Chains A and B, each alone.
Chain A
Amino acid sequence: MALPDENKHWVLQSQNGDHAAFESLIRAHQHMIHSLTFRMTGSLADAEDLAQETFIRAYQQIQSYRGTAKFSSWLYRIGVNTCLNWRQRESRRSQIHDTWAKSAELDLSRLATKCDESEHPVQQALMKLPPKQRAAIILTVYDGLNHAEAAQILGCSETTVSWRIFAARKKLKQLLGKGGKNE
């Protein structure tokens, strides 16, 4: 991870349209964003697409970055929103596919499943959470943010984050507990 002063310099340069400076910002934050996008999607290919989309959006919006928050937090927020929007797009797309498949009388069970990377039961359990609960777990458990910081990134109140985490933990415990089944 880059030092804050280095980030500041690269951000200023990027705001002046310097692609090389933005490339440095990507290099400094690519692991963080890939980790987020993988935990949110459970797929390496989708994680790559979303990481790419996150950085492109960040570049398009970089004029609005005022330096009041840490650049990584600002970027992370774009990443989370990109993932949440992707879930909605995917859900719409999947509905269209389902309708199409039904009309074509295809056996959906024969279509290939896409997430070979998410075979790990923990990742599978994470994928069963609603996206906003998953995002709250990723921010607080994997990235170690407190509820206030997570609330800032997710654009909601601390109470909502606490509630989402509570609900997510309950479900994860059911799915991953000794008596739970993770089919």
Chain B
Amino acid sequence: MNDSELNNLLKSVPMPPRPESYWKDFPGRVATLLPRPSKIRRPAAWRLPRLSWSYGFALACLIFGFGVGLWQGRSHPDQMTGLEDKKVVREVMALFPNRVQAIIQDEKGIHLVLSDQPNVPASTPIWVRACSSHGNCFTAVTFSGQQLQFDGQPVEILAGRNGNVMVVGTRMFWTSEEPDRAAEHWRIRARTLNDTL
């Protein structure tokens, strides 16, 4: 079977019909479930200071937490640092539920990549460390299906069923099954954190 035959076969399946009254009633039924206008989140002026205070406070706690983690890491080089501290990662995820796309640590510090909306689906957390041939390194905790930037290029991080990790970009492919294979000019290490987060 070629692709075209498969497409035709897939398209041959009809949608089970619904009565006309269903299509007539459905919009009205949904409309009755919509929140009242006052409940819709709007960027109202009076709310902004309160929001910025709460987010500011949360970020200050985060920075403090990371600072302590990093300091402890430096004091005890054998211990795990920053992003390998599962507790810190868990706390970040709890602070921004369904919004954390990635937590990235590079030479400039730690950055959070958050979604505008709480719509990041729950998926396998993945720890990634990548170093370029120029010596630029970063570590990230992200989630299967999310993207990271490698030299400005979007690269997707995926967890396989057997716990392996794949790094897929337009010009690169790396898998934890062959960890020593260089992807472009990057050396990568990655593993899932599923059992520990």
Contact = CB atoms under 8 A, between A and B. Distances in A.
Interface of A: 16-17, 19-20, 22-24, 26-27, 30-31, 34-35, 38, 44, 48, 51-52, 55-56, 59-64, 78, 81, 84-85, 88, 117, 120, 122-123, 126, 132, 137, 141-142, 155-160, 163, 169, 172-173, 176-178
B158 interface: yes
Contact of A30 (B10, B15, B16, B26): B26
Contacts of A23: 27-28, 30-31
Contacts of B28: 23
B76 interface: no
B41 A63 contact: yes
Given A23-B31, A56-B34, A137 B16 contact: no
A38 B16 contact: yes
A55 B30 CA distance: 7
Contacts of B33: 52, 56
B40 A63 contact: yes
B155 interface: yes
B135 interface: no
Interface residues of B, number: 44
Contacts, number: 111
Contacts of A169: 3, 6
B35 interface: yes
Nearest to B173: A159
A59 B34 contact: yes
A123 B13 contact: yes
B30 A56 contact: yes
Contacts of B155: 157
Contacts of B18: 34, 44
A157 B157 CA distance: 10
Contact of B34 (A22, A38, A63, A126): A22
Contacts of A59: 34-35, 40
A167 to B, nearest CB: 11
Given A26-B26, A31-B23, A64 B13 contact: no
Interface in B12-47: 12-13, 15-16, 18, 23, 26-31, 33-38, 40-43
Contact of B121 (A17, A27, A84, A172): A84
Contacts of A178: 1
Contacts of B13: 120, 122-123
B1 A85 contact: no
Contacts of B133: none
Contacts of B26: 26, 30, 48, 51
A42 to B, nearest CB: 10
A183 to B, nearest CB: 18
Contacts of A156: 145, 147, 156
21 contacts: A27-B27, A38-B15, A44-B16, A48-B26, A52-B30, A56-B30, A56-B33, A59-B34, A63-B43, A85-B121, A88-B123, A123-B13, A132-B145, A155-B145, A155-B147, A157-B155, A160-B158, A160-B168, A169-B6, A176-B9, A178-B1
